[in-house]
Structure 1
Amino acid sequence: MLTRAEFLGGATLFTGMLLSPLARAQSDELSVIQGAEKVLRDLRKDKAFGNAQQLLRRARGVMIVPNLLKGGFFVGGEGGEGIILARGREGWGQPAFYVIGAASFGLQIGAEAAEVILFFMTEKGLNGVLNNDFKIGAQAGITVVTLGSNVEGALSGPNVPDIVAWSSASGLYGGLTVDGSVIRAEPNKDSTFYGRHVTSKEVLFGPVSSTRTGTLRRELAGLT
């Protein structure tokens, strides 16, 4: 017969075995959050970011992909995990988890990974990307440009682009061709991270909160 100590020890081990997959999953989501924080810190100190801070001040939402990888994603294509945040009346909301993938993003020669930010400059652009399996370039009426010398003029003109793309890879900065890429919500990751069943839109616009996102949101607020 098991002693009380042996029973409690076995129960603790069994509980740990059950919880370990959840703990690992939460760690994965947290690593994406922390990666996004690093991207924002990089942008704050790097002059190559150019006028993107101006974009952030005007953006309705933003997608941050800390590590867009070349190969082995979306069936041999390119892509990575990221987060989307939407701006509300009281500032930036909570991050929802998304993935982006494509056959090719046109990374610089020799680059295997890149940091990527998509600025959603209009409500139309933000609402479009929140549709299931949004494919950039397939939705009529949503314009996409890459961050570069042409963007400042585009923002001051009568027709503001709906989405602006920025990337850095191997120390080189500039635009990223995102036409044809697919953006997909990851509600299971949202539910794991926030500890209850939630939809992506509930995270972005609803009463969802987490103490683990404070640094990210402060970094973003500091740039805007």
Structure 2
Amino acid sequence: MMRSHRLFLIAMVAILATVLFRVPAKADYYGEPAELVDRATSVYKGFLADPNLEWFRNNVGSARGILIVPQMLRGGFIIGGSGGRGLLVAQDAATNKWSSPAFYSMGSVSVGFQIGADVSEIILLIMTDRGLDAMLSTDYKIGADVAIAAGPIGGSAKAQTADILAFGRSQGAYGGVSLEGAAISPLVDWNARYYGQPVQIFDILINQKWNNRQADSLRQLLPKPRRNAQPLGR
């Protein structure tokens, strides 16, 4: 009886260890910042092309920033984890010029009885200055001090009032996503590698002092906002 109990505990520890160690590895699929930029460009194209994301296409130009996470992995057994790396581009409200990308990590942990895993492509539209200011902090949890809502899906979708709108795709299906409590932090080392020296998030996104031409393909896809567009939140 004791032997069976011990073998059961060993098996449980092995399963748990496999999940905990494999989830971050998959979420960190991209070995270099340039690889993540290329994949983010592909994901952004996919969102623009999807017939169910008409609202996204029509309103992305009004966003103050766009955070693209090409691979957000969720999964677990007893302890569930999620994680991914992404990039954020910001739009200058005066010049309509989009910045080069700054790199971020996104992750959260939940506890409960859950089995399985899935991979999602996530895009957050940062609709207000308050939402963008939150992203400039060194460590931010989604939903703290700013309003987040699932992005509208479908041709008849109505406008949402929120600082951040979340859109996601998992296994080919699009829909709104819930990311309340997910932690977002700048990847200081990735930003330094991409621009060749230590850089500040504010100088990349707001002052737009830094540029990497490798990201030009992504930036060329980003629309200019309509001049008469009204902000969707404050």
Return the TM-score normalized by structure 2: 0.72
One-letter identity of the residue aligned with 1:210: N
CA distance in 2: counterparts of 1:120 and 1:56, whole angstroms: 9
3-state SS of the aligned residue for 1:48? coil
CA RMSD of aligned residues (A): 2.6
CA distance in 1: counterparts of 2:163 and 2:186, whole angstroms: 19
CA distance in 1: counterparts of 2:191 and 2:86, whole angstroms: 12
One-letter identity of the residue aligned with 2:58: Q
Counterpart in the other structure of 1:193: 194
Q: Does 1:120 align with 2:126?
A: yes
CA distance in 1: counterparts of 2:152 and 2:137, whole angstroms: 27
CA distance in 2: counterparts of 1:152 and 1:92, whole angstroms: 26
CA-CA distance at 1:54 after TM superposition: 2.3
CA distance in 1: counterparts of 2:130 and 2:64, whole angstroms: 10
Asked if the contact 1:55/1:119 (under 8 Å) is kept, the reply is: no
Return the TM-score normalized by structure 1: 0.76
CA distance in 2: counterparts of 1:223 and 1:172, whole angstroms: 27
Counterpart in the other structure of 2:140: 134
CA-CA distance at 1:100 after TM superposition: 0.8
Counterpart in the other structure of 1:213: 215
Greater fraction helix:
1
* Cα deviation code 1:60-107 (max 9, x no counterpart): 1110001111248xx961020000110012411110000111125xxx
CA-CA distance at 1:46 after TM superposition: 1.4
CA-CA distance at 1:110 after TM superposition: 6.3
Counterpart in the other structure of 2:230: none
Counterpart in the other structure of 1:153: 158
User: Against the structure 1 CA distance between its residues 152 and 122, is the aligned structure 2 distance closer, same or farther, given a 3 Å change threshold?
Assistant: farther
Identical-residue share of aligned pairs (%)? 31
Task: Tell me the number of residue pairs that the alignment of Structure 1 and Structure 2 aligns.
Answer: 187
CA-CA distance at 1:222 after TM superposition: 7.9
CA distance in 2: counterparts of 1:57 and 1:138, whole angstroms: 25
One-letter identity of the residue aligned with 1:133: D
CA-CA distance at 1:223 after TM superposition: 9.6
Segments of structure 1 that go 5 or more residues without pairing to the other structure are 1-25
CA-CA distance at 1:111 after TM superposition: 5.8
User: Against the structure 1 CA distance between its residues 57 and 198, is the aligned structure 2 distance closer, same or farther, given a 3 Å change threshold?
Assistant: same
Asked if the contact 1:186/1:200 (under 8 Å) is kept, the reply is: no
User: Against the structure 1 CA distance between its residues 223 and 117, is the aligned structure 2 distance closer, same or farther, given a 3 Å change threshold?
Assistant: farther
Deviates more, 1:27-36 or 1:176-185: 27-36
